[in-house]
DNA sequence: ATGAAGATCAACT
DNA sequence: GTTGATCTTCATT
């Protein structure tokens, strides 16, 4: 059944705990991702996501329902952060979905910055472009976005629902119709056999803050 | 104890 | 288009 938006609130458990992670991934587009560390809010609209699903998805860390210390978090009830280190450098932020026992997650790959942009530039170690145009590299790509929002592996497992948590997602009432969403294969999962071809990457066609595969917005300074 | 691989990015040529 | 950085996790010895 379709999710009913709630305005001006953290997305509730009922949003995250649905069993169709592909649908949840699409529904996350247009939502507002918020972190508030050290009383510095940084926020942005989610523009690009990928779905991962155990047990049948070979690209998922929990493929075959493999439980390890790292993947354990994905088996918990939806509405938590799963953050892990990639290539020894990048902290990738995922949203855990589905009820307890189903290891599903959505990787957030891009946001359009809204608030706390100064803080994001500082964390990223880059400067604003000419005329105040925000360079897409500020928050495009999962490693970049996590750095801009101050997300780190030590926050893995943190709740997105609990009123005191420092990471959450809001519905601002942005309507994303199906025909403004594009889909394609996930990035960097060529090793995953036939699963590599699944079109479980979704992005807002009209956003600049999308990592690749969208030729009309590539590499414009 | 050891080694291989990885849901990436930036700086090159 | 190619490559180096950098380190945790997991499987194997």
In this complex, the nucleotide whose C1' atom is nearest to the CA atom of residue A68 is C10
Inter-axis angle of helices A142-149 and A117-124, nearest 10? 120
In this complex, the nucleotide whose C1' atom is nearest to the CA atom of residue A61 is B7
Each residue's pLDDT tens digit, A92-135: 999 999 999 999 999 999 999 999 999 999 999 998 876 678 99
In this complex, the nucleotide whose C1' atom is nearest to the CA atom of residue A89 is C6
* Å between CA of A154 and C1' of C8: 13
Residue A162 main-chain phi, psi, to 5 deg = -55, 135
pLDDT band at A8 (very low <50, low <70, confident <90, very high): low
* CA distance linking residue A11 with residue A15, whole number of Å: 6
What are the structure tokens assigned to A19, written together?
Answer: 């069993």
pLDDT band at A213 (very low <50, low <70, confident <90, very high): low
Determine, yes or no, domain membership for A214.
no
* Å between CA of A62 and C1' of C13: 25
Determine, yes or no, domain membership for A76.
yes
Q: Is A25 helix (H, G, I), strand (E, B) or coil?
A: helix
Determine, yes or no, domain membership for A183.
yes
Average pLDDT, chain A: 92
Q: How many domains does chain A have?
A: 1
* Å between CA of A87 and C1' of C4: 12
The CATH number given to whatever domain includes residue A189 is: 3.10.300.10
Determine, yes or no, domain membership for A2.
no
Determine, yes or no, domain membership for A217.
no
Each residue's pLDDT tens digit, A52-97: 999 999 999 999 999 999 999 999 999 999 999 999 999 999 999 9
Where on strand B do bases come within 7 A of a protein Cβ?
5-10
A171: number of Cβ within 10 Å: 20
* Å between CA of A103 and C1' of C3: 34
Q: A75: number of CA atoms within 13 Å, CB side? A: 14
Determine, yes or no, domain membership for A22.
yes
Whether A61 CB is under 7 Å from strand C: yes
Determine, yes or no, domain membership for A8.
no
In this complex, the nucleotide whose C1' atom is nearest to the CA atom of residue A126 is B10
* Å between CA of A68 and C1' of C10: 9
Domain with A35 in it:
13-207
Whether A39 CB is under 7 Å from strand C: no
Whether A152 CB is under 7 Å from strand C: no
Determine, yes or no, domain membership for A95.
yes
């Amino acid at each position: 059944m379709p999710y009913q938006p709630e305005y001006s609130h953290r997305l509730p458990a009922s949003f995250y705990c649905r069993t169709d992670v592909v649908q949840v991934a699409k529904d996350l587009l247009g939502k507002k991702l918020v972190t508030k560390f050290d009383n510095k809010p940084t926020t942005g609209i989610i523009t690009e996501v990928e779905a991962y699903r155990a047990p049948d998805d070979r690209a998922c860390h929990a493929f075959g329902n493999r439980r390890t210390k790292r993947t354990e978090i994905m088996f918990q009830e939806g509405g938590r952060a799963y953050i892990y280190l990639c290539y020894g450098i990048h902290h990738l932020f995922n949203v855990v979905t589905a009820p307890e026992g189903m290891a599903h997650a959505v990787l957030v790959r891009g946001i359009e910055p809204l608030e706390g942009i100064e803080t994001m530039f500082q964390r990223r170690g880059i400067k604003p472009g000419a005329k105040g145009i925000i360079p897409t590299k500020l928050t495009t790509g999962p490693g970049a976005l996590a750095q801009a929002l101050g997300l780190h592996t030590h926050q893995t497992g943190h709740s997105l629902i609990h009123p005191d948590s420092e990471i959450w997602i809001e519905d601002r009432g942005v309507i994303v119709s199906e025909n403004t969403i594009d889909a394609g294969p996930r990035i960097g999962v060529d090793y995953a056999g036939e699963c590599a071809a699944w079109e479980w990457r979704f992005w807002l066609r009209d956003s600049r803050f999308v990592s690749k595969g969208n030729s009309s917005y590539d590499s414009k300074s």
